[in-house]
Amino acid sequence: MLVCHSCLQDIKAENSFCTACSLQVFGKRKMSAILPLSTNDLAEKLPSQLQKNSLVGYQNKIYLKINGTWTVPQWGAVSHLLKLPNTDRISPYKLAADMPANEHLSMQIAKQIFDIPTAKCAFMYTEDKLPLYITKLFDVSYAKDFAILLDITSDTHGESYKYDGSYEEIASYLAQKSEDNQTDLFNFFKSFVFNLVIRNGDAHLRNFSMYYNSQNLFTLTPFYDLLNTVLHIEGETMACYIDQADKANKRKIDICSLNKMSKKKILMFATTIGLDSQKINSFLDEIAGKKILIFTLIDKSFLTDRAKQLYRNLVEDSYKALFKL
């Protein structure tokens, strides 16, 4: 089965993209999903550009520029961000080589099944077949993340500051500041449900951002850094607290078991942040009917068979816990 390395729809060519995705992700009609660089080429560039990922360096990041061909600039304008799996034998993460395919699949589920605005992304390989996740950068010069917006910093909240907020705080900021607060709040809520269904324990304050302009009007940026973290880490909890009561009690949801999580709790959260209950119920009904579509995307993804099975089992359990299905 040959699929587009971005949208996962069937195509005729191997290691390739459909024309629409090729244009959206790379600005070119025809691109290869094999990056014309080797693992060694990238490793050489790592020390100068190295940035540890939030999950304690589980993926290394390299910034690239595409103009005619791919380059790894030492400075200046970049267009794409590449994530390389950390496959060291000492890596504390299970199935580490599956992380790029996991992030690519999770972003596609968010976009195609949950209708969440997401950063454009694709799954690629180096010349020597190292799996890679690639995303087109959006204009971050006019964006601020929620650690900055809510003024929750390492100075005020210590090392793990970005895990020290609540989703209620983010929603309340959106309600006050977004120029289209109903759309932004609804998309934020959709991402909340999505993170539960696919088990993303990395939705911390820095993984939500807003654009601003000279009039100081804000709007949410596309969503990014979405993946099933339970696939790689034992004992995951939600990155942030749900509401202020949970924050006061330092109570986070166990995202491995999803116990204490239910449709009722989701509806309570939606009401707390001011969303219309009819709209929320119809969204949840819609998602409840889409389990098979999620399974189809998992099957078509670039995960290994073992990772596909685990991802599928976790989604199956989420549907039981949240929708009694």
Q: Name the minimum Å distance from CB 7 to Zn ion.
A: 3
- Residues of the shown chain interacting with Zn ion in the complex, contacts defined by CB under 5 A: 4, 6-7, 18, 21
Q: Name the minimum Å distance from CB 264 to Zn ion.
A: 38
Please state, in angstroms and rounded to a whole number, the distance separating the CA atoms of residues 282 and 285.
Answer: 5
Q: Name the minimum Å distance from CB 300 to Zn ion.
A: 11
Q: What is the chain's Cα-based Rg?
A: 19
Beta sheet of 121-125, edge-to-edge order? 69-71, 59-67, 80-85, 131-136, 121-125
Question: 6 vs 229, which CB is nearer to Zn ion?
Answer: 6
Strands (DSSP E) contained in the chain are 59-67, 69-71, 80-85, 121-125, 131-136, 143-145, 209-212, 218-220
Please state, in angstroms and rounded to a whole number, the distance separating the CA atoms of residues 30 and 35.
Answer: 13
Question: 21 vs 273, which CB is nearer to Zn ion?
Answer: 21
Could you tell me which residues come within 8 angstroms of residue 59 by beta carbon, excluding any fewer than 6 positions away?
53, 83, 84, 85, 86, 99, 100, 133
Question: 2 vs 325, which CB is nearer to Zn ion?
Answer: 2
Q: Name the minimum Å distance from CB 19 to Zn ion.
A: 8
Question: 7 vs 266, which CB is nearer to Zn ion?
Answer: 7
Q: Name the minimum Å distance from CB 119 to Zn ion.
A: 15
Question: 33 vs 198, which CB is nearer to Zn ion?
Answer: 33
Tokens of 227: 């993946």
Q: Name the minimum Å distance from CB 127 to Zn ion.
A: 22
Could you tell me which residues come within 8 angstroms of residue 68 by beta carbon, excluding any fewer than 6 positions away?
none
Tell me how far the alpha carbon of residue 105 is from its chain's centroid: 9
Question: 18 vs 170, which CB is nearer to Zn ion?
Answer: 18
The residue behind tokens 């950063």 is 119
Please state, in angstroms and rounded to a whole number, the distance separating the CA atoms of residues 191 and 210.
Answer: 15
Smallest CA-to-CA distance from 148 within 121, 126, 127, 177 is with 177
Question: 61 vs 136, which CB is nearer to Zn ion?
Answer: 136
Q: Name the minimum Å distance from CB 24 to Zn ion.
A: 8
